[in-house]
Structure 1
Amino acid sequence: MTPKYKRVLLKLSGEALMGEQEYGISSHMINMFSRQIVELADLGIEVGVVIGGGNIFRGLSGEEQGIDRVTGDHMGMLATVINALALQNTIEKLGVQTRVQTGLEIPKVAEPFIKRKAQRHLEKGRVVIFGAGTGNPYFTTDTAAALRAMEIDADIVMKGTKVDGIFDKDPAKYADAKKYDTITYSEVIAQGLKVMDTAAISLCMDNDLPILVFDSLVDGNIKKAVFGEVIGTTVVK
């Protein structure tokens, strides 16, 4: 089989790293993601990863605790860096070189995001993990994923979730929820489907960058997505 995509941007949520835990990083989950990413890298597929921080801290929930939104968002960005370093460590133990690049400058921990450097790392077969979101408050890691995908000239944004694609209503609450195989950016926005935030969807729509929403908690699904097997939902023009 030939891979459908040569360069992908994989978006993983911080919550996906928790597994069955209430918070933190599950060794089982991070190993599962790392093994699949390494498999892709070994096949010559160039992989960039944007990772969330919701398993450690989420800016919006910080507001409920009386934390200023900007401060909370910066705390959330630092949480994503912790996850990025953990993912880097696990992937490198499996024999693939990685680089962590961050939207906030933390030179003793990671490289700052530089488009040309990121592209060069990918060309050399390194997995590039993008931490700290966009480096700006009020922007989610979904928006960071769309932005980084365009900056590295990725073929697609692959967003891993807990459900197998996009449904017309919450499948956890409604048994008759209907799954879409493909849907347009405009339909996602018009129907208010909580796939990615509106800024991320609009960014992809304006630049004709396809989005694949799939269940990342199923082992092997990342490779299936890259090889073009019919899983999840594709958002296109």
Structure 2
Amino acid sequence: MIEVKPLAGRRALVTGGASGIGAAIVAELAGMGAHVIIADLDLAGAERVAAEHGGAAIEVDLASDDSVEAVVAHLSGDGVDVLVNNAGVSAVEPFLDSDPAGWDRMWRINLRSPMRLAQAFMPGMAERTWGRLLFVSTDGARAGAGGESVYAACKAGLFGLAKTLAREAAKHGVTSNVVCPGLVDTPMLRAHADRHPSLMAALLKTIPLRRAGTVDEVAAYVGFLASPRAAYVTGQTVSVSGGVTMA
């Protein structure tokens, strides 16, 4: 049987692909035949993941305009067919205790850089009449997340961006969608669970499926939206959260 590679010949850019959900997305897209470029602040981690999947790595600080523009310049020649804005940064603290100086960094990483990258690579997608704009947000942006007000606000901004781009790019065969992970089993989550076992147990009880998700489950949905099978899906915000959000 001939193995089908639905993204063969396509180039994908995944931000924050050096670990966690991002690394799983890289594996998923590479398995579908895409040549994946990983853009991450952790260059060593990005190079390691890229080597595992025959991709490439590039260092980027998404909080820096100059660094983002360097990525755009580096990839402008061959372009990008699938853009996965996955990277994100958060600070867990009550809103009234948050420092406005930190808001700007979170805004730049979580919202401004996805806006700029989409603006940079959409024209090429439109010219080729095929493209996938994908934004990884969070279920906390849909339902609210105590202690993550600024992060949730920035990630919620991706909803309006993705829906607007879906309308503007549809005539060019380019789709735009958002995936919202819920509680996902990552090294960071496990470390948090070790420090606060009772809190994690309480959180798991709020999930109808009574467990955390896996990075592969999130990546599988991103892979579906990137595939030709999702050509008629655009402007959607979908949670992969075990049923926490049902709308």
TM-score interval, normalised by the smaller of the two chains:
0.3 to 0.5
TM-score (norm: length of structure 2):
0.42
Larger radius of gyration: 2
Between the two structures, name the one with larger relative contact order (CA 8 Å, sep ≥ 6): 1
More helix by share: 2
TM-score (norm: length of structure 1):
0.43
